[in-house]
Each structure stands twice: as C-alpha cells, then as structure tokens.
Amino acid sequence: MIAIDPRQWVRNGRRMMARLPSLRMGRVPDAPALPVRDPWPGDPDHGARLLKGELELGGAVRPLHPGGWHEVTGSTLLRASAHGFAWLRDLRALGTDAARLRARLLVAEWIAAPPPDAIAYRPDVVGARITAWLGHYDFFAATADDSFRQRLMARLVADARGLSAALPAEEIDARALTALKGLIAAAVALPEHAGFMTRALRFLPQEILRQVLPDGCHAERSPAAQLAALQDLTEIRALLQAGQTQPPAALTNAIERMAPALRVLRHGDGGLALFNGSREEKAALIDLVLTQAGRGGRGPSALADGGFQRLQAGRSVLIVDCGAPPPHGVDRYAHAGTLAMELSIGRDRMIVNCGAFPAGPPEWRDAARATAAHSTLIIADHNSSELRPDGLGRRPTDVKAQRQEANGAHWLEVHHDGWMKPFGAVHRRRLYVSESGEDIRGEDVIEAAQPQPFALRFHLHPDVQASLQQDGEAVLLRLRSGGGWRLRADHARLALEESIYLGGTEPRRTEQVVLHGLADGPQHVKWAISKVG
C-alpha cells in the first residue's frame, strides 16, 4: 500500500476547492486597488532579445515568442523563469512601445491558453508571476482595453486563491519566500480578499525561522540564495508597508541579520563569491538590495552558523567555505566544494571557483558542482560530496574552523571528513594572510592510513594572465590592473591546465594552476601567493 501524506491530501483538497468557479470570493476587480511596484532594475539588452523571441537566463537561451508558450523547454530553472514573468522588467527597461506590446501579448496568450507544464503552477512560480504581473501592471496593462484587463484580473484572483490553498509551500528552500511574496502582493492589490494576507502572515515567520540562520546566512549557504532571499524579504516588507500592515518582528529581524551577512560574501569588485550555485551578479543590484534593506557599514569577518570565513587585509580579500554542506531539502544547488577558497585583490579577482550554470544542461550543472571545479584539494578525482540531481548524498559531517588574528594578520585552520567513507581520509587546510595582504600562504594535508593520489587546484579568473616560470616551481600571475603575483609550491608537481569560468554573464575559457601529488609521495603541500615588486 502506498503511504499518503495527510498534509498533502489536505493541500490538494484546498487546491481543488479553490478552482471551483462557484466558490470565487466576490467579484473580480477592474484594476488593482493599490499599485504594486517592482523595485528592481531590468536589463534592456535582455529586453531586446525578448523582442526577437529569445529568453536569456544565466547564459542559457531558449525561444520565447508569441504563440510559443507550449514550446518552452530547457532546464527546470529556465522554464520556471519563463512562467514566472520576472523578465517583464527587462522589457520595461527597454521602455519602447514595441516592448510594452510584446509584454501585453505574451501575458495575454499565457492567460488564453495556460501551458501544460506543471512547473508553471508550482507555488513559487505562481508567486513570482503574480508579483511580476502586478508589479508591471502600469507598464503593460493600464492602457490596454477593458477585456484584457478583466481577463488579467480574473487570472490574478484565481492564481492567488490557488496559491493560498497550496500553502505552506512544499519547497522548503528560498522558493517558499517567493510564493509568500506573491500572495502578499495579491493581498495588497486585492484588499477585498482579506484571507490572502491572513494566510501569508501565518506562514511567513515560520518560513523565515527555517531559512535564515542565527548569523543571517541563508540555510542554502549560497551567496546567490542569500541575495534572492533578501530581495524577497525587502519586497515583502515594502508590500506590507504599502498595505498599511505592520511587518512581523521576524521579518524585520531577518533583514537586519541577512544584509551584513551578504556583505561577507562580496569581493572587492562588489560581486558575489562563487559558492553553491552562485554567479557574480551585478554590483549595482547588490548595492540596491542592501540600500533597500537599510543596513550600512561593513559586514562581520565570519559567519559562524553559515560556515564562511572572510580574511581581509590590505587590498586582499580571501573568502573560504568552512561549513558543512546544507541539509537535505535546501541542498538542491549545493556544490561539492567544502574548504574551497576565492581570492581577490582590490577589484581584481584572482583565485576563483568555476561558478554555476543552473539553467544549463544537466552535464554542465554537474561539472560545475564537482569538487574539481573549486579551488581546493581533491582526492583521486573523487567528489567530497556525492552529487545527486536533487541535492547531495554522502557529504562531510565534521567540518571545523579555528581562526586567530594578531596585528592585522590572519590564521585559519579548517578540516573536513568528506572522504572518510571512501578513503578513510581527512583534509586539513591551513591559511595565512599577512597584515599587508601581500603574502598569502597555505598548507593542505591529507590524513589517511594509506597514501592517496590528490590534486590541489587554483582556478584563475579569465582576466588573469598566467605564465609558468622556467624552473617549473612557480607561476607568475598578472592581474587586469597590471599587478603581478607569484604562486609557488613545495612537495607537488605544478602545472597550468585549462579551465572554464561560469561566474559571469556567459561561459569564458580560463586556466587553473594544479598541484599534483602522488600516492607514494608526501601527503601535504605547502604553497604561497605573494606580490611581485
């Protein structure tokens, strides 16, 4: 006999009741009672592509043209983006009459023939769509004919009722906040449906408690998820204020904790560090989110609960993943990158992780999630966490960090046991950053009963020019700004190999410095990165 979750049975029953026309609550309004504004900037270049019938998301492109809603294909993330309509802000940024009419036509065709893709009706996608339609109502709908506006408002009411019935959202990661945001947007724009707000505020505090760690780090341990969740929470606060509803204390406290935590995860160029499914993102957007959050000043030097350490001295910023992977349920984008590090000098990124391609083909997503795509040690080409389509399987459970500071210098010692089951091995990493930030040293050690083959990788940002010195014991690194640095190592064979960078707007070829260890050789490597001249 197949076990049935009674909560799922009740939720499905509420959804069926919400779809019954005879039970609609009141008449459909002619327009939103209160304006809902989308506060985030769009990309006019992406808007121009939409006019050509192309939707771009994270380097992946799929057709999106009038009459083509039933043909939307690609990754789960890309399809969710298409049906979530956040790309309306890109057409708004373009700002032409052609962009306005294209937005109206795409919305109208979606309403006239809703696509069969189940992703389009997932709570977070419905929440994103409600927020986008209401947030851009003045752009694409205010000047439309009465028939279009009536169909739009009817669909908004129906979607909001279905979303209300679907709560709490089955997704227990950041997507649940997007679902709640959509219902709150509907409650503000449709105040005659008072139940929407009551239901959203019932679940919001518990969702915040589940997703936001005490230090303000998001439970997914992803800079990208951190940014997205903070965006959603600041939008929710603005929506509540617009609807003259007192924000719950949990919301205010979460924003106050998450904003400083986001600062920990930024490099000198203002973009995000590339851990657990993240890309750089635009510094201007991150600045805007922090401004909306209302928290100024510098962030802390570490996130004890989130497991990130930020070692900053002089112009150097070293960010290290020192935490256990996120737990099941919030690990859908988690990488096998425990103890990975990234290093930037001023506005120049030097040592990076490969980044992420969540909207790309499965083989690309898995390659970016692998340990070898991170600036850390790997044993026998074996991932430190087992990669699965829905998250992680085997993973490190004992991940510890100890940090000391004196006279502006930093010491960090970390270890993890991700290879204990396959190899009986523990990886220890010791890092040092001098007070000037111009002398960075490390030591990577494998503790195991049997020696293991290993490689230590330092992925380089594409703007870094690398040249292997004639003695083969060091690599000269030239930054985009012209500064020179030297990476040298002991107890390993040093090589320059190909790599790829997925942290920007499109994939770029780059290189990596690889220190190869042998199974019958020393199980530790000492290395140093120092400024030249």
Q: Is the pLDDT of residue 403 over 90?
A: yes
Q: pTM for this one?
A: 0.94
Question: Half-sphere exposure of residue 420, counting CA atoms within 13 Å on the CB side?
Answer: 12
pLDDT average, residue stretch 432-439: 97
Tell me, what's the pLDDT at 170?
73
Tell me, what's the pLDDT at 491?
82
Q: Is the pLDDT of residue 10 over 60?
A: no
Confidence of residue 180 (pLDDT cuts 50, 70, 90): very high
Q: State the Cα–Cα distance between residues 13 and 21, nearest whole angstrom.
A: 15
Cis (ω within 30 of 0) for the bond into 327? no
Q: Contact, 295 vs 260, CB < 8 A?
A: yes
The amino acid present at 175, given as its one-letter code, is R
Q: Is the pLDDT of residue 409 over 50?
A: yes
Q: What digits encode the pLDDT tens for the residues 40-67?
A: 999 999 999 999 999 998 888 889 988 8
Tell me, what's the pLDDT at 422?
94
Q: What digits encode the pLDDT tens for the residues 106-124?
A: 999 999 999 999 999 999 9
Question: Half-sphere exposure of residue 94, counting CA atoms within 13 Å on the CB side?
Answer: 22
The amino acid present at 169, given as its one-letter code, is A
Tell me, what's the pLDDT at 267?
98
Rounded to a whole number, what is the distance in angstroms from the first to the last CA of the chain? 73
Task: Check residues 66 and 354 and name the one with the higher pLDDT.
Answer: 354
Q: Contact, 265 vs 301, CB < 8 A?
A: no
Tell me, what's the pLDDT at 470?
77
- Alpha carbon distances (Å) from 273 to 29, 31, 153: 45, 42, 41
pLDDT average, residue stretch 147-163: 97
Q: What is the CATH number of domain 302-531?
A: 2.70.98.70
Tell me, what's the pLDDT at 297?
67
Q: State the Cα–Cα distance between residues 114 and 69, nearest whole angstrom.
A: 8
DSSP alpha helices (H): ranges in 218-377? Answer: 223-242, 249-264, 283-293, 362-369
What is the token pair recorded at 500? 């790829």
- Alpha carbon distances (Å) from 361 to 274, 367, 388, 502: 19, 10, 14, 13
Q: Contact, 339 vs 322, CB < 8 A?
A: yes
Q: Is the pLDDT of residue 265 over 70?
A: yes
Q: Contact, 328 vs 420, CB < 8 A?
A: no
Confidence of residue 236 (pLDDT cuts 50, 70, 90): very high
Q: What digits encode the pLDDT tens for the residues 271-292?
A: 999 999 999 999 999 999 999 9
Diameter of the chain measured on Cα atoms: 81
Q: Is the pLDDT of residue 8 over 90?
A: no
Q: Is the pLDDT of residue 487 over 90?
A: yes
pLDDT average, residue stretch 436-462: 96
For the chain, helix, strand, coil in percent to 5 are 35, 25, 40
What is the token pair recorded at 15? 């959804």
Q: State the Cα–Cα distance between residues 427 and 320, nearest whole angstrom.
A: 14
Q: State the Cα–Cα distance between residues 72 and 115, nearest whole angstrom.
A: 9
Tell me, what's the pLDDT at 251?
98
Q: Is the pLDDT of residue 344 over 70?
A: yes
Q: Is the pLDDT of residue 238 over 60?
A: yes
Q: Contact, 433 vs 336, CB < 8 A?
A: no
DSSP string, 53-113: TEEEETTEEEE--TT-GGG--S-HHHHHHHHH-TTHHHHHHH--HHHHHHHHHHHHHHHHS
Q: What DSSP state is assigned to residue 23? A: G
Q: What is the mean pLDDT of the chain?
A: 92
